[in-house]
């Protein structure tokens, strides 16, 4: 499997511990050094391959169409040009393979600012959604998946209510458990999943 922008190995090391062979591509030398250290400490260094490169040049760093699972978690927000970066990432997915994308949801920012009482900031955020085409929101990522010939299998929200509930409310007995259940039951249920702080998109190459 391939972890794009996987940096210090927060996904790669646990997956390697579960038995996966993981290639991690990241532009940061420091992050890859941390990845090597964490992989050594976990005893999975032989199952983790660090590669220094940026996602826009993936074609020069890893073979195309050679991975059965590709992670792109949070990387699209960090690139200069979303469409070319996504194309490069999608090209690494082999036939029948999966692409897992985790992306921030700009809609959640508007809602959070409004609920915090900063209505003017919420209005600015809302108007910015139409003006800033560099922000890869969930609908844009789903469109990119389709353009790359990928079939979207699942879409679910992460953090539907977790960032909206006041911290003091979670001190009540059973509140944390109730919040966890609320998150689980709304993560794939419209319209709740549409306001999640992050959205996970799972797509497959036919």
Topology of the domain comprising 53-204 = Rossmann fold (3.40.50)
Q: Which helix (H) or strand (E) holds 50?
A: strand 48-52
pTM for this entry: 0.88
Structure tokens at 48: 């983790």
Residue pair 143/133 in contact (Cβ under 8 Å)? The answer is no
pLDDT in tens, the chain (206 residues): 999 999 889 999 999 999 999 999 999 999 999 999 999 999 999 999 999 999 888 999 999 999 999 999 999 988 988 999 999 999 999 999 999 999 999 888 898 889 889 999 999 888 887 665 556 889 899 999 999 999 999 999 999 998 888 888 888 999 999 999 999 999 999 889 889 999 999 999 99
Structure tokens at 32: 């890859």
Q: How far, CA to CA in Å, does 51 sit from each of 58, 135, 143?
A: 10, 26, 28
Closest CA to 102 of 13, 15, 187, 165: 187
Strand partners, 157: 199
User: Per the omega criterion (within 30 degrees of 0), is the bond before 89 cis?
Assistant: no
- 95: helix, strand or coil: strand
Question: What does the alpha-carbon distance between residue 6 and residue 60 come to, in Å, rounded to a whole number?
Answer: 17
């Amino acid at each position: 499997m391939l972890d794009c922008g996987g940096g210090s190995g927060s996904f790669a090391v646990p997956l390697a511990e579960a038995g996966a062979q993981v290639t991690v591509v990241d532009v940061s030398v420091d992050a890859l050094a941390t990845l090597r250290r964490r992989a050594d400490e976990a005893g999975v260094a032989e199952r983790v391959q660090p590669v220094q490169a940026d996602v826009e040049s993936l074609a020069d760093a890893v073979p195309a169409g050679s991975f059965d699972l590709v992670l792109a978690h949070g990387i699209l927000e960090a690139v200069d040009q979303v469409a070319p970066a996504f194309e490069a990432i999608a090209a690494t997915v082999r036939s029948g393979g999966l692409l897992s994308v985790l992306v921030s949801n700009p809609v959640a920012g508007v809602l959070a600012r409004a609920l915090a009482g900063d209505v003017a900031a919420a209005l600015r955020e809302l108007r910015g959604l139409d003006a800033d085409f560099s922000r890869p929101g969930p609908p844009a990522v789903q469109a990119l998946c389709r353009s790359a010939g990928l079939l979207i299998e699942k879409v679910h929200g992460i953090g539907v209510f977790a960032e909206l509930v006041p911290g003091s409310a979670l001190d009540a007995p059973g509140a944390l458990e109730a919040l966890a259940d609320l998150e689980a039951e709304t993560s794939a249920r419209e319209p709740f999943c549409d306001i999640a702080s992050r959205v996970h998109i799972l797509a497959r190459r036919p």
